[in-house]
Structure 1
């Protein structure tokens, strides 16, 4: 069976660190904590929970900190988590099974990451991350922020998901400041940095600058495929917020040229036609969202509840109450606790007399 070093970077995580280590600490042989300047009891908590705590002066470079933590590992594989990540009980079982069965010549294990949860604790955004890496594989983190390791060698896809349970908001401008500092020092951004620069601008309510950055990323013709697909969706959102519906549609059609469309793209296309009052066109794309394969940045609601509920609205607008009701029931099957679906069913019962 392989052995694992858990490698983390921490700062002021005395509240979340115990929860994280309680979910994974007994599944690994070693815990490395690179502390980047905690002012609370993070160091003491880490030691009390069996971790090896090392100081690493913060230099506004997440890759540097992660590479330092990896350099201290001594086991076969390096596992990385953030302090507000956890393995839920079923995923603990899956991770233990992964350790017991993984071939020692594996270089990278990709695992699902539930990066956001809805109000009921269900995954709202899931994508794959390079979560377990062979220590002697020479892997290095790249990127001062939104850091990543490009998978290579023998790559295995596992099912032990990591769940992000954020307890406190981060500094909203931190990532943008780091990227602007990198650009100022170096004079340019890598394609991945350019992509996230545009996304940070959009999240901070600066859509025109975001559109410029995202268009620059797409025009460069480089970057990971999933980032390019997502950039089109983000660019469309930027133009929509500026009232540029024509350009919003152009961004979405650009994504259609990148291969089989994903549910998220189909839903955004459906939303565009819906906003324009083109109910048949909207229904076409919402139906497509239910039929096409999921992709890299996966929003589970786009594969079931959301397009079904929107189809309910489309057919209502088109005057077909029976079909509208059928789609409301389909949406309710995806989310039995939906208050919207219950209210709709009451409406249909009165309108249709049954």
Structure 2
């Protein structure tokens, strides 16, 4: 049983060494495809005895991944990007892998410099079976001719440094990510998931009108389903988009749109904590605080039991900090001081430095 690293790189001299040093002791070959570096990236890869190939970048991540896959000879393929490190949790992971049936293994990924989201998956270790390939210009997806099992795997994980430098992230967003996604939009190949990615890229680069336009398009795609009650064929990322649409509608006091997004969203994605939280906010804002309390409490119960959906990644604050704060505010509105104090204390248990909770407890005890 042989394991191959498969990586695509471009101008990664500042971090490729860290990546390859973490991987090299654990794989049988390293295949690196360079997509047009003008720095010392290629020399660094060669210094780790990687087999380096050239590929002309064409704004298509799947094309570059497939070019790299074409040179892989191992039985299993490990995909690690230049801004990531491989972290070995189980030193015997290769022996475990040798006894694993052909499948796709989803690895945990730790974010450096950002909160680690709950849920989501990173299918980065997979059987090198016939016909395996990638599809999609952006956030490329692994495909097999026939369905292959996908399961979480904790024997190794990834550490992601790519968001540690905000200015570098901004440059990449403006010069690479948004142009690729807009090309896909013109080609009518932008999924609801990637439309949300485009909207968030516009948000993080302060292009508010463009972000609003993306979310209006997302609502237009979902509107027939929201009005009929018939769920979309593919529910992936629908919960996250409906969360974003609900949040924006509540901010605009568009109560009917928020109600529609939240009611159908909770029917289709009933265990998705962000939707439950925003349903509570909506109920409180329209004057139904007791109903709001039930939703905030449900989110807290999910946080304690772990019985919630992990298909889509979300901020873990939706499992304790956010609902505890909202619960504290709501109990205060109702004059329920003991319950409010207990809720604010839950918020502080989640984040002892959270100033709104500190201020609230000082106010209640003053």
TM range (shorter): 0.7 to 0.9
Q: 1:116 to 1:226 in 2, by over 3 A?
A: farther
SS class of match (2:66)? helix
Shift of 1:272: 2.9
Query: Contact 1:24/1:86 (CA < 8 Å) preserved in 2?
Result: yes
Aligned to 2:271: 261
Q: 1:132 to 1:145 in 2, by over 3 A?
A: same
Does 2:22 match 1:23?
yes
Q: 1:112 to 1:261 in 2, by over 3 A?
A: same
Q: 1:200 aligns with which of 198, 201, 224?
A: 198
**Using the alignment, how far apart are the partners of 1:343 and 1:25 within structure 2?**
51
SS class of match (1:123)? coil
Shift of 1:254: 2.0
Q: Deviations over 1:167-225 (max 9, x none)?
A: 321433433322332454xx4326xx343124413541224422343135435865642
**Using the alignment, how far apart are the partners of 1:182 and 1:207 within structure 2?**
16
Alignment of 1:65-76 (within 5 A): 65-76=64-75
Aligned to 1:157: 152
SS class of match (1:309)? helix
* Higher alpha-carbon deviation: 256-265 or 64-73: 256-265
Aligned to 2:95: 100
Query: Contact 1:207/1:242 (CA < 8 Å) preserved in 2?
Result: no
Q: Deviations over 1:144-186 (max 9, x none)?
A: 11211257323332124323222321433433322332454xx
Aligned to 1:298: 314
**Using the alignment, how far apart are the partners of 1:31 and 1:268 within structure 2?**
46
**Using the alignment, how far apart are the partners of 1:70 and 1:31 within structure 2?**
11
> Runs in 1 of length 4+ with deviation above 6 angstroms?
none
SS class of match (1:38)? coil
Q: 1:176 aligns with which of 170, 175, 178?
A: 178
Q: Deviations over 1:115-151 (max 9, x none)?
A: 6754xxx413541121111112422111111211257
**Using the alignment, how far apart are the partners of 1:54 and 1:135 within structure 2?**
19
Shift of 1:335: 2.7
TM-score (norm 2): 0.81
Aligned to 1:113: 109
SS class of match (2:120)? strand
- RMSD over equivalenced CA pairs, Å: 2.7
Tell me the number of residue pairs that the alignment of Structure 1 and Structure 2 aligns: 338
Q: 1:269 to 1:162 in 2, by over 3 A?
A: farther
Q: 1:80 to 1:99 in 2, by over 3 A?
A: same
**Using the alignment, how far apart are the partners of 2:315 and 2:233 within structure 1?**
21
Q: 1:39 to 1:24 in 2, by over 3 A?
A: same
Alignment of 1:127-166 (within 5 A): 127-150=120-143, 152-159=147-154, 160-165=156-161, 166=163
Does 2:213 match 1:209?
yes
Aligned to 1:333: 349
Which segments of 5 or more consecutive residues in structure 2 lack a partner in the other structure? Answer: 203-207, 226-230, 303-307
